[in-house]
Amino acid sequence: MTTLTPLQVLDAAGQGTELPLPTELARLYGSCRLPLRAERPYVMGNFVTTLDGVVSLNIPGQAGGGEISGFNTHDRMVMGLLRAAADAVVVGAGTLRAVPHHVWTAGYVYPPLADAYRELRNALGYTEPPLSVIVTSRGELDLSLPVFQAGEAPVLVVTTDRGADLLKQRPLPPGVAVVAGVSEGRLTASAVLDAVQRVRQVGVILVEGGPHLMGDFFAEQRLDELFFTLAPQIAGRDKTTERPGLVEGRTFAPDKPLWGALVDIRRAGEHLFLRYAFPTAHQ
């Protein structure tokens, strides 16, 4: 139970299967539909940015999404809802390094609703938490971190041949698996999705970034939809520290601009919770 006020629904044109939200989650979020398809997994992203497009302050100890959203509880509630609805949560190693103590479960990100998230997962037929998928070329991961050691969720590291060799030099913690999706270099978004589907039958995949991984998913048009929280702060930029936006390492406009369709608008105080659908390579 939480004292959080419900999101104000300004426009909800989203189509698809209605999630069987438990009473408390339905009160807070309203109805939530995901356009699930039988033939392939539905891939959704979730990000929070400032009004001036900053997704990370990139300051040690202050590089997470919390500083961007203002540690907004509604944002955490939505993050938890999306994790609870997902078979797998995918993040790049850069995001793990920025928030090394994080664990990618619904209950971790918003503990007051842990029971409601569990109830939703049960209703969706899930028997365990979402698979935490960590994407890395180099494979230089600290296996003592909670995501690997806490046993809160099974973990799949998707990496290169070299990365896999490096990781397998040490005993892997229980529940942690490593697969090589490419011999060397960066993994394509398709290779990441294929690797996930090899270990788990998936219907919904949540990509929580960061910006370099997000760039790969956009570049290959493998993202069906972006859940996008707009936090009402101006973070600013100068030449001392690079402050990334939603996508890094790729450009699209003007040659191949990616335009989204706004399918849902909700509000909590001054924060906006938006959903944009994007055309995928399959359409």
- Tokens in use for 268? 């909590």
Q: C-beta of 195: minimal distance to ligand NAP in Å?
A: 11
Q: C-beta of 213: minimal distance to ligand NAP in Å?
A: 4
Q: Which residue's entry shows tokens 């949560």?
A: 89
Report helix, strand or coil for 3. coil
Q: C-beta of 123: minimal distance to ligand NAP in Å?
A: 27
Q: C-beta of 102: minimal distance to ligand NAP in Å?
A: 9
Q: Select 135 or 277, whichever has its Cβ closest to ligand NAP.
A: 135
Contact footprint for ligand NAP (CB under 6 A): 47-48, 55-56, 58, 63-65, 68, 91-95, 98-99, 135-138, 140, 186-187, 208-213, 216, 244, 248
Q: C-beta of 241: minimal distance to ligand NAP in Å?
A: 11
Q: C-beta of 278: minimal distance to ligand NAP in Å?
A: 17
The Cα–Cα gap between 217 and 160 comes to 18
Q: Give the DSSP H/E element, type plus range, for residue 277.
A: strand 271-277
Q: Select 25 or 99, whichever has its Cβ closest to ligand NAP.
A: 99
Q: Omega of the bond prior to 254 within 30 degrees of 0, cis?
A: yes
Q: Select 104 or 117, whichever has its Cβ closest to ligand NAP.
A: 104
Strand spans (E) along 113-182: 131-135, 155-160, 176-182
Q: Select 25 or 63, whichever has its Cβ closest to ligand NAP.
A: 63
Strand spans (E) along 15-122: 17-18, 33-34, 42-50, 88-92
CA distances (Å), origin 82, targets 3, 73, 104, 107, 162: 20, 14, 11, 11, 33
Q: Select 56 or 132, whichever has its Cβ closest to ligand NAP.
A: 56
Q: Nearest 5 degrees, angle CA 29-CA 34-CA 36?
A: 160
Tell how strand 131-135 and strand 155-160 pair up. parallel
Q: Select 72 or 95, whichever has its Cβ closest to ligand NAP.
A: 95
